[in-house]
Amino acid sequence: MHRPVCITYDSTCDLTPQLLERFRIRTIPLTIQSGERVFPDDGSYTSAELYDGYRRDGTLPKTSAISPEEFRGFFSAILDEGFDVVHIDISSDLSCTCQNAVMAAQELADKYAAAGMRVEVDRSNNTIGYKIRAAQQEKIPYMLVVGGKEVASGTVSVRSRKGEVTNDVPAEEFMLNALREIASKAR
């Protein structure tokens, strides 16, 4: 039985808001340090602010990788909602973020295997657009998307295979309904 897939990516991918909304993609941000200021790479800053910091401090902004612990928490929350995860990451040649995601994914895959869940990190050299289309073509029954608004409210947006979209569904309610549906089909 196929489980719904949630596409995730790290903030270096710089996808447009339209793509994030269309495919209900969830983001895990890297951390940026600009002078003394440390903040998540979540778009809550402008390029002008980074340039101002450089002119003021004389140091270029730096990023730090997402830790395996942060990935475990991020992936676990999505798996607990009943999704499989397809994660798109920055190249392993450029950052240890990819290796940290792989470590966390493997730990979670081992943990959730007994429950029939899987975590998949696509380490291929395909473009992000290709990876998103490939994940969408899996013809999964449901895809859940959680952005900042949903995280804050504990809800999910649900897209069915038929294209129906339901927003603001309590995450626990969806998970219970999905488990009931799975159990009814197993009979």
Confidence of residue 74 (pLDDT cuts 50, 70, 90): very high
Which of the given ranges, 22-31, 93-102, 157-166, has the highest pLDDT on average? 22-31
By residue count, the chain amounts to 187
pLDDT, one tens digit per residue, over 92-143 is 666 676 676 766 666 656 665 655 544 455 566 666 556 556 656 776 666 6
> Which residue would you say has higher pLDDT here, 38 or 152?
38
The pTM score is: 0.53
Three-state secondary structure readout of 122-150: CCCCCCHHHHHHHHHCCCCCEEEECCHHH
Q: Return the pLDDT at 3.
A: 77
- Does 14 have pLDDT greater than 80? no
| 29: Cα within 13 Å, side-chain hemisphere | 13
- Does 154 have pLDDT greater than 60? yes
Q: Return the pLDDT at 26.
A: 92
Confidence of residue 170 (pLDDT cuts 50, 70, 90): confident
> Which residue would you say has higher pLDDT here, 187 or 138?
138
Q: Return the pLDDT at 161.
A: 64
Q: Return the pLDDT at 119.
A: 46
Which of the given ranges, 61-75, 79-93, 125-139, has the highest pLDDT on average? 61-75
- Does 183 have pLDDT greater than 80? no
> Which residue would you say has higher pLDDT here, 123 or 68?
68
Angle between helices 97-112 and 68-80 (to 10 degrees): 40
CA 98 vs CA 24, 94, 95, 126, 146: distances in Å: 21, 9, 7, 15, 21
